[in-house]
Amino acid sequence: MLAFALPYTLHVLAALVWVGGMFFAWLVLRPATVAALDGPARLRLWVEVFRRFFRWVWLAVAILAISGIGMLHMRFTGFETAPKYVHVMIGGGIAMFALFMRIQALLLPELKTAVQAEDWATGAAVLGRIRRMVGINLLLGIAVVAVASSRWVL
């Protein structure tokens, strides 16, 4: 049982970092920055927030993948014998990673370029697209956590 407890704990903590970080950013930090900072300062702050948070997301993604594959083989001997909630969790995780990669690889460089050029209108538009993607990813993450923790699938 101890052999399963370590990857399970790491898996839950990694999911907590990723989904909890998105929850905090979307529902707490974003409204606070809108209330307290002007546009240019807000855009500069978000570039720094993403730079720092995405390091943690990359670590969480690695831990989720390694611990998830490990638990899959420890508990179910492979994907084909795993229950549906595990399949949903894996599919949701892949979709979340794809959205994260879109933000990381395409939108964040665009935001950085706009902020460096002091093109605040473009930066605001890109930040709006990032916000929507993070919102979708947050909803997906909450759904994955709900399915995984309840082990319920339609």
pLDDT digits (tens, 9 = 90+) for 7-16: 999 999 999 9
Amino acid identity for residue 99 in this structure: L
pLDDT digits (tens, 9 = 90+) for 67-105: 999 999 999 988 899 999 999 999 999 999 999 999 999
Model confidence at 152, pLDDT cuts 50, 70, 90, reads confident
Name the percent of the chain lying above pLDDT 70. Answer: 99
Residue 105 exposure: Cα atoms within 13 Å on the Cβ side: 7
Q: What is the pLDDT of residue 3?
A: 87
**Alpha carbon distance 76, 116 (integer Å):** 50
Is the pLDDT at 53 greater than 70, yes or no?
yes
Within 37-105, residue ranges assigned H as helices are 39-75, 84-102
> 1 pLDDT band (50/70/90 cuts)?
low
Contact (Cβ atoms closer than 8 angstroms) between residue 21 and residue 53: yes
- In this predicted structure, the answer to whether residue 126 has a pLDDT above a threshold of 70 is yes
Mean pLDDT of the chain: 96
Label residues 75-97 b or e (16+ Cβ within 10 Å = b). eeeeeeebeebbebbbebbebbb
CB atoms within 10 A of CB 120: 15
